[in-house]
Structure 1
Amino acid sequence: MTTLAHHTTRTAGVDEILLAEMCAELFASLPRSDQRTKGAVYVRGLLRAEGRKSIRKLAAVSGGEVSEQGLHHFVSSSTWDWRPIRAALARYVTRTIPVHAWVVRPMITPKAGEHSVGVDRGFSAEAGQVLNAQYAVGVWAASDEGASPVNWRLHLPKPWLDDEDKRSRAAIPVGVAAESMAGCAVSACLETGGFWGLPVRPVVLDARSTEVGGTVRRLQAAGLPLFVRVSASQGLVLAQQALPGRVSGPVSAHQLMAEVRHLRRPVHVPGSRSGRHSAATVPVRLPGTGREGRELLLVGHWDGRGGPVGYWLTDITSASLSTLVGLSRLVAGVDDNFDRITDRTGIRDYVGRSYDGWHRHVTLASAAHAVAALSEVAFDRYAS
């Protein structure tokens, strides 16, 4: 196991020992030494090149060790499998830092043209406007110490999958089928939590614009604990005896939290400037599941500024209120890591057109993020 506090060789904010160690472990599945070299060069280039991470810049960082053409071929049209490398990255990260949850975060990559794999024009709720873009979801290993992406799923609209010419040009595998964005999120979680030998942790995701019931059922069927954000208008059914005298029909999350407002208890939120955080829970079921449906908790979180700042459904019924609110706070940590590290290490800079090329790039960019994030943790610990 890596002992982060022992890493003391640092260049431009990067722990060199950690970088070499991680690349050796991640690229062990590549059969040829030249492939392993190119993988390490690509990751190092993402960490060192300034501005947009073009292939030319990444090759230049290597000082002639790898040519621009060779690096382009390695990512866009080679045949190496990115899946074992991504799984190795996930195992490395979870072995190195404590993982409190798997946090799902969407990623939008605006595109000028129409040939990048999966690019589609449509309204983005996250951006609040119509965009021509690629849409993907990332699964992040998240803790109070930091966060790192370990898995990705690219959303492919039905027109891309129904058009044989587009499928052929992007080399989209035969088995890839159409999914909603919510379906992509759940599938990415099932892959991360079910097939890679990783620790079981709560899945934290935003389901406010999706069909909540289907998301909850798929996660529960896979045995993954869930902590799912829902809209204020989400209809829920009170569990029996939850609020004596209350009707049994569907009630909105907002109405339910208004009724239990007086039951709020203070919660500690590390790093918050406000000391007035509080939370309450009420047992509920999803509409249409009947009394046999699995009981969930609706969690409301207040920060002293009026109504609840969020409504969450969870099947983690034995955790403290502070622990549950802490799970919701991990989302902000992931967003901070994306803005501060992931985007700067070129996660959205791939300009190729192939499906596997996109997956290779985001896998290597995730490795670069992990090196940068873990270098921060290592030197913070060393300095203290």
Structure 2
Amino acid sequence: MTTTYETPDMATGRPPGDLSRLLFGHLHRSDQQRWGHVYLQGLMRTHGKKTVRRMAAVVTGSEAASASLHQFVNASPWEWAPARGELARWAARSLPVRAWTLAPAVLPKRGACSAGVHQRFLPESGRTVNCQLGLGLFLDAGQAHVPVDWRLFLPPRFTHDEAVRDRAKIPATTRAQPLWDHALRLVQDMTSRSDGRTAPVVADLTSLCDVMPLVRRLQGGGHAHVLAVPGQTTLAGPELPPGERESVRSLLLRRGVRHPAGPGRQVVSYDTPVRGQRQDGEHTGGAGRLLAEWDAGSGRPGRIWLTNITDRHPAELLELARSPRGARAAIERMGENFGLLDFEGRSFPGWHRHMTLVSAAYAYSTLEGINH
């Protein structure tokens, strides 16, 4: 007797046929299209750990089909970028998008062979983990945060050592990049897919990288943004003598203006220029603002954000700055219910294909929940 792993409530869900055809319609082989649909259904319908064996049993009734699912994700030569482009456009048409949110996903791994795996200290938990670090772009619609694109952080050994590169199937054109550059490329790719309809970029990457290069590139590229910055970051404020700089925390403490932000809440802000850098290296500038929720108990600002959006009330911007919380909650749900942590391969292409399918499964389920 074949063991199944499907729960009754999952089994009643409408199969995502339309989305599957949209994502895999560019594939020339019908077997690839079929296995893409099976994998997508397996992620949505299989209870517990999403191994290819369990997913094959749920969707096809035969655990033997797991070899074909494994082949489809890890070895079948299909490109994930077109599928992500279709996913992004489909989600953008279906949601009232208010922000593009960047959020990291720490994926614990065993061993040292999986693409991008490395030791990383996590300030939030105070421990070091063996992990992959993915960075996702989410469409924030307030009540939903839908992932549409991913980048995988690669330590230098994965691109400098040819044997390691070959074992992880990392393309020869792929280079190790700082995390802020991955963030910038996610925004650039989304811009190219959005037909000119952009949204403010919101992120809190302060525990992972220097965010000021990202601020400068987004500013130089004309992207609206709300980015968390460390309190010790220094800026040249308009009230400071030429050449002098002051920390953003000090600027808000000494020169900030407080605004009401609801019952018992205040937001403190300080207007300051934002420096930018275009792709050709030319420096630009524009109006900007520091803002933070005011902690009345300590008499200090909380998490500090830098933005170039100056035509909206600081309290409204602070609400937008909560977007990374929603993206982090989405990542947690993807890990619990949609197989984010269950990839059974080690290769760079396999990781990207799995993340594409997990994102599609989560996006479909989320939008179905909103619309029904």
TM-score (norm 1): 0.86
Alpha-carbon shift at residue 308 of structure 1 (Å): 2.2
Contact 2:120–2:130 (8 Å) recurs in 1 = yes
Alpha-carbon shift at residue 139 of structure 1 (Å): 0.7
Report what 2:59 is aligned to.
Answer: 62
Report the Cα distance in structure 1 between the residues aligned to 2:61 and 2:13, rounded to whole angstroms.
22
Answer yes or no: is 1:32 the counterpart of 2:29: yes
Report the Cα distance in structure 2 between the residues aligned to 1:364 and 1:288, rounded to whole angstroms.
36
2:287 corresponds, among 279, 289, 295, to 295
Report the Cα distance in structure 2 between the residues aligned to 1:195 and 1:144, rounded to whole angstroms.
21
Report what 2:145 is aligned to.
Answer: 147
Report the RMSD for the aligned CA atoms in angstroms: 2.4
2:273 corresponds, among 253, 276, 285, to 285
Report what 1:266 is aligned to.
Answer: 260
Matches within 5 A, 1:179-328: 179-197=177-195, 199-209=197-207, 210-239=209-238, 243=239, 246-247=240-241, 249-261=244-256, 263-268=257-262, 275-285=263-273, 293-302=285-294, 304-306=296-298, 307-328=300-321
Report the Cα distance in structure 1 between the residues aligned to 2:12 and 2:367, rounded to whole angstroms.
9
Report the Cα distance in structure 2 between the residues aligned to 1:335 and 1:292, rounded to whole angstroms.
32
Aligned identity (percent) is 33
SS of the residue aligned with 1:171? Answer: coil
1:252-289: CA deviations, max 9, x gaps? 1111111245x311124xxxxxx322213212236899
Report what 2:361 is aligned to.
Answer: 368
2:173 corresponds, among 169, 172, 175, to 175
SS of the residue aligned with 1:311? Answer: strand
Answer yes or no: is 1:354 the counterpart of 2:352: no
Report the Cα distance in structure 1 between the residues aligned to 2:121 and 2:138, rounded to whole angstroms.
25
1:28-67: CA deviations, max 9, x gaps? 1121222122111111111111221111011111134781
Report the Cα distance in structure 1 between the residues aligned to 2:24 and 2:9, rounded to whole angstroms.
22
Query: What 5-or-longer segments of structure 2 have no aligned partner?
Result: 1-7, 278-282
1:9-40: CA deviations, max 9, x gaps? x95397516x2222222221121222122111
Alpha-carbon spacing, 1:49–1:15, altered in 2? closer, same or farther (3 Å): closer
The amino acid across from 1:346 in the alignment is G
Contact 1:43–1:365 (8 Å) recurs in 2 = yes
Contact 1:153–1:184 (8 Å) recurs in 2 = yes
1:282-316: CA deviations, max 9, x gaps? 12236899x97433211122365433222111111
Matches within 5 A, 1:66-77: 67-77=65-75
Report what 1:133 is aligned to.
Answer: 131
The amino acid across from 2:313 in the alignment is S
Query: What 5-or-longer segments of structure 1 have no aligned partner?
Result: 1-9, 269-274, 380-384
Report the Cα distance in structure 2 between the residues aligned to 1:150 and 1:355, rounded to whole angstroms.
18
2:333 corresponds, among 336, 340, 343, to 340
Answer yes or no: is 1:377 the counterpart of 2:370: yes
The amino acid across from 1:267 in the alignment is A
Matches within 5 A, 1:99-114: 99-114=97-112
1:205-243: CA deviations, max 9, x gaps? 12424333311121123322111101111111112xxx5
Report the Cα distance in structure 1 between the residues aligned to 2:124 and 2:131, rounded to whole angstroms.
12
Report the Cα distance in structure 2 between the residues aligned to 1:344 and 1:360, rounded to whole angstroms.
18
The amino acid across from 1:44 in the alignment is Q
Alpha-carbon spacing, 1:297–1:324, altered in 2? closer, same or farther (3 Å): same
1:336-373: CA deviations, max 9, x gaps? 22223454201121120111111000000000110221
Alpha-carbon spacing, 1:286–1:97, altered in 2? closer, same or farther (3 Å): closer
Provide the aligned length of Structure 1 versus Structure 2.
356
The amino acid across from 1:259 in the alignment is R
Alpha-carbon shift at residue 322 of structure 1 (Å): 3.1
Report what 2:322 is aligned to.
Answer: 329
Report the Cα distance in structure 2 between the residues aligned to 1:350 and 1:207, rounded to whole angstroms.
25
Report the Cα distance in structure 2 between the residues aligned to 1:276 and 1:260, rounded to whole angstroms.
21
Report what 2:5 is aligned to.
Answer: none
The amino acid across from 1:297 in the alignment is R
Of residues 151-160 and 47-56 in structure 1, the stretch that sits farther from structure 2 once superposed is: 47-56
Alpha-carbon spacing, 1:326–1:225, altered in 2? closer, same or farther (3 Å): same
The amino acid across from 2:219 in the alignment is Q
Contact 1:342–1:365 (8 Å) recurs in 2 = no
Contact 1:100–1:202 (8 Å) recurs in 2 = yes
Alpha-carbon spacing, 1:49–1:288, altered in 2? closer, same or farther (3 Å): closer
Alpha-carbon spacing, 1:15–1:218, altered in 2? closer, same or farther (3 Å): farther
Report the Cα distance in structure 1 between the residues aligned to 2:138 and 2:11, rounded to whole angstroms.
22
SS of the residue aligned with 1:309? Answer: strand
Report the Cα distance in structure 2 between the residues aligned to 1:337 and 1:13, rounded to whole angstroms.
22
Contact 1:108–1:135 (8 Å) recurs in 2 = yes
Report the Cα distance in structure 1 between the residues aligned to 2:371 and 2:12, rounded to whole angstroms.
10
Contact 1:235–1:287 (8 Å) recurs in 2 = no
